[in-house]
Amino acid sequence: MKTKPAVERTMPSPSKTSMNILFALSLAHLLNDMLQSVVSASYPVIRDNLSLTFSQIGIIALVYQICASVFQPAFGVLFDKKPKPWYLSLGTSSTLIGLLILAFAHSVYMVMVAVAFVGLGSSIIHPEASRLTHYASGGKHGLAQSIFQVGGNFGGSIGPLLAALIIAPYGQEYMVVFAGIAVISILTKRPITKWYAERIKTLKSRNAPKEVIHRVRLTKHQVYYSLIILLVLIFSKYVYTASLTNYYTFYLIEKFEVTTQQSQLFLFAFLFASAAGTLVGGPIGDRFGRKYVIWFSILGTAPFSLLMPHANLFWTCVLSIIIGFVLSSAFSAILVYAQELLPTKVGLISGLFFGLAFGIAGIAAAVLGKVADHQGLEYVYRFCAYMPLLGFIAIFLPNVKPHR
């Protein structure tokens, strides 16, 4: 007996793309990920101050990633069922508390508490901001997510640069500067809060537009099968990404004997290239299909990742920039693909995929830190170089686009 295609109902998206709201959400993402990346970029300074091992750095990264991942699906469900305009400000407030604690942390346990607060802030902001991006897209979901993601990636690239200019030369206490930026971030969310409050009020009114029905040209079995493939791709991408974001600075310091500040500048170059590449994937996915963006983005990274452990300092930097540019568009394409599979659960999907991304990265950071202590960082990079090869399974994703 032939299975009928799944029929989904979702909140109506505005007929016109709200570009001003998309840019405001991108700015919110930029400031959030900038503050988040400052924490990981400051690991060398924290390690020197507290005389920590790579294993302890890995555990700190794990605590942060768990708090930034485990709660995201739950928050996503809450945001879908009980929308409130102040959730984004709540998330930034948690980050603010964590940065203040981290500035004056003098033990590994205080550092763990600090990164837990920072992680919870991220756990709130990512699913909520991504959900609002979906609703402000006007149907241009790939473009909207690219605008949103480029803010986060650009912010993530600025963090190490600021850490090199402020934290490395002046010390951990100067983390209070970034706490001040968190206060500014809360103030910049007012346009989003006002827009979403009006949207909630409209949806609750008697004259609210009826729900839009989207038919996904897949059976339920195909939907679940596609989600499993997407999760494997998330695993591949974020295990490799964890090796770069958490240990790239240590790798450069150990192998090429660069200074901490120089290593953070190299990390900035990688993250900046990631930000630039993000803008490309969304519009291409809208036009030609997200499957091809996902496939090329992950599998296309493999030749460069396999070469990088054998390169000198110059080519290591060049290859990391190429890797960042090519790999960066994968997540927004994966996220929009998954949202189109389950359009009534945008918050859940956003929380689940952001949560898995952070969770996998956190577990990978802890495991790779342990391996680095016993086998060395060069061994870690030789092993992780093979992870992008898993991108070949994207060929099994169906070409699908929801229609009304």
Strand partners, 7: 215
Please state, in angstroms and as integers, the Cα–Cα distance from residue 182 to each residue in 32, 90, 223, 241, following that order: 8, 11, 39, 25
Q: For all residues of the chain together, what is the average pLDDT?
A: 81
Predicted confidence (pLDDT) at residue 319 exceeds the cutoff of 90: yes
Taking a C-beta distance cutoff of 8 angstroms, is the pair 21, 88 a contact? no
Per-residue pLDDT reduced to its tens digit, 74-121: 787 887 778 788 888 888 899 999 899 888 888 888 888 999 999 889
Predicted confidence (pLDDT) at residue 321 exceeds the cutoff of 90: yes
Q: Which residue, 332, 371, 111, 122, is CA-closest to 243?
A: 371
Q: Which residue has the higher pLDDT, 153 or 2?
A: 153
Alpha carbon dihedral 31, 36, 38, 41, in 10-degree steps, equals -140
**Three-state SS for 399?**
coil
What pLDDT does 213 receive? 43
What pLDDT does 312 receive? 94
**Three-state SS for 5?**
coil
What pLDDT does 82 receive? 81
Lowest mean pLDDT among 108-112, 158-162, 369-373: 158-162
Tokens 């000198």 label which residue?
Answer: 312
What pLDDT does 207 receive? 56
Confidence of residue 18 (pLDDT cuts 50, 70, 90): confident
What pLDDT does 16 receive? 65
Predicted confidence (pLDDT) at residue 304 exceeds the cutoff of 90: yes
Buried b (16+ CB within 10 A) or exposed e, 121-137: bbbbbbbbbbbbbbbbb
What pLDDT does 400 receive? 67
Q: Which residue has the higher pLDDT, 386 or 360?
A: 386
Domains of the chain plus CATH, in order, are 11-396 (1.20.1250.20)
Q: Which residue has the higher pLDDT, 208 or 313?
A: 313
Per-residue pLDDT reduced to its tens digit, 197-236: 887 777 666 555 554 545 456 788 888 889 899 989 989 9
Predicted confidence (pLDDT) at residue 260 exceeds the cutoff of 90: no
**Structure tokens given for 239:** 């295990």
Percent of the chain with pLDDT over 90: 13
**CA 74 to chain CA mean position, Å:** 17
What pLDDT does 309 receive? 92
Confidence of residue 128 (pLDDT cuts 50, 70, 90): confident
Q: What is the mean pLDDT of residues 349-369?
A: 78
Q: What is the mean pLDDT of residues 358-370?
A: 79
**How far is residue 166's CA from residue 174's CA, in Å, rounded to a whole number?**
7
Strand partners, 214: 8
Confidence of residue 316 (pLDDT cuts 50, 70, 90): very high
